[in-house]
Amino acid sequence: MASPGSGPQFLHCRRFPFTISPSDIEALQPNEWVTDDVIDFYFRYLKHKYFRGSKKYVYVPVNIANLLTERPIDSSSKGIADLAGDANALDMETQCLRKPRAIRVAFLPIFGDGHWSLLVYRNQRHRPLPEFLHFNSYLGSTRENHTLCARTALINLLYVFRFNDPNMTISKESYRLVVKNCPQQSNGNDCGVFVCMYAYILSARLAKEDGRESPLHSLMRRLSAITASPPLGRLSDTLTFTAKNPQKDQTDQDDLAWKIKDKDAIMPDGMREYLLKVIYSTTSTRAASASL
């Protein structure tokens, strides 16, 4: 899909420094792989929309998440120092890793084994230690290898946190990874779209819980007026879901805010249309000064 006006052009975000290319727009057509920049842009958009100025909610950029996923685990002092140095160098703009004890929730887009998923770091006051929630839209085919990628990322993230704040408590229990039941994709192309969908649903809930938005129905009405909210899917639509395993959610049954059920799902093509509307509503073909 071409942007409004003449031929394909680069789009510059008016709210924060970011550029969307014509290939990013093309990648939002049905059955295409969503690009790194689309995911990065949408995570920045969610941060700006819901938690602008807050240090409690962090959206880790794709390049930092890739570093955490791809760097082999090295618990030596030099290995941790090198990892933290590289991560902090990439973090100069967003500054999302510098004060880890202030972070309540961090979203990480994980790419590994040819697949995208969402890893969420959760550090809540009523829990003695942080934990990681893994939302994977393709559990049947990628579970073992991709979960290993997510576990590598979480361990490396904790190493960076500990380096940036030596007083932060990290123990073996901090490495806990909870694989969540969540809506599943029906093809091999929509994993990036599902990552954006999971992040959208969780961010909207967290914003409501944190008192940063009015009740959900008002939120949806405003989204419809501004960027058109993504259409909700139904079980009778074309989404397919894997069989449920109650053990995966056994330790989190009372925490509904962190469950993404089938009825919460947004149809992939509808999510793609929504992402396009968000891009077009927040960008222009001319670079403009913008700041977070």
The whole-number pLDDT of residue 240 equals 35
Burial label for 280, CB within 10 Å (0-12, 13-18, 19+), is middle
The residue that leads in pLDDT, 33 or 256, is 33
The whole-number pLDDT of residue 256 equals 79
- Average pLDDT in the chain: 83
| pLDDT classification of 285: cutoffs 50, 70, 90 | confident
Alpha-carbon span 104 to 80, nearest angstrom: 23
The whole-number pLDDT of residue 171 equals 79
Alpha-carbon span 112 to 204, nearest angstrom: 27
The whole-number pLDDT of residue 212 equals 60
Question: pLDDT tens for residues 140-149?
Answer: 765 678 889 9
The radius of gyration computed from the CA coordinates of the chain, to the nearest angstrom, equals 19
* Domain residue limits, the chain: 11-284
* CA quadruple 251, 253, 257, 263: dihedral, nearest 10: 120
Report for 174-183, 251-260, 267-276, 277-286: range of highest mean pLDDT: 267-276
**One-letter amino acid for residue 134 of the chain:** H
Alpha-carbon span 66 to 51, nearest angstrom: 23
The residue that leads in pLDDT, 236 or 203, is 203
Continuous H helices in the chain: 22-26, 36-50, 62-70, 77-90, 139-164, 191-209, 216-226, 268-282
Percent pLDDT > 90 in the chain is: 63
The residue that leads in pLDDT, 7 or 226, is 7
Average pLDDT in the 74-101 region?
Answer: 94
Q: Does domain 11-284 have CATH number 3.40.395.10?
A: yes
Write down the pTM of the prediction. 0.81
| pLDDT value at 213 more than 70 | no
The whole-number pLDDT of residue 124 equals 79
Question: pLDDT tens for residues 5-54?
Answer: 445 689 999 999 999 999 999 999 999 999 999 999 999 999 999 999 99
- Report strand pairing: 131-135 vs 115-122: antiparallel
| pLDDT classification of 238: cutoffs 50, 70, 90 | very low
| pLDDT classification of 230: cutoffs 50, 70, 90 | low
| pLDDT value at 116 more than 80 | yes
- Residue-wise DSSP of 245-288: -GGGGGGGTT-GGG---GGG-B-HHHHHHHHHHHHHHHEESS--
The whole-number pLDDT of residue 87 equals 98
Average pLDDT in the 231-260 region?
Answer: 50
Alpha-carbon span 177 to 182, nearest angstrom: 15
The whole-number pLDDT of residue 142 equals 57
* CA quadruple 57, 217, 230, 259: dihedral, nearest 10: 50
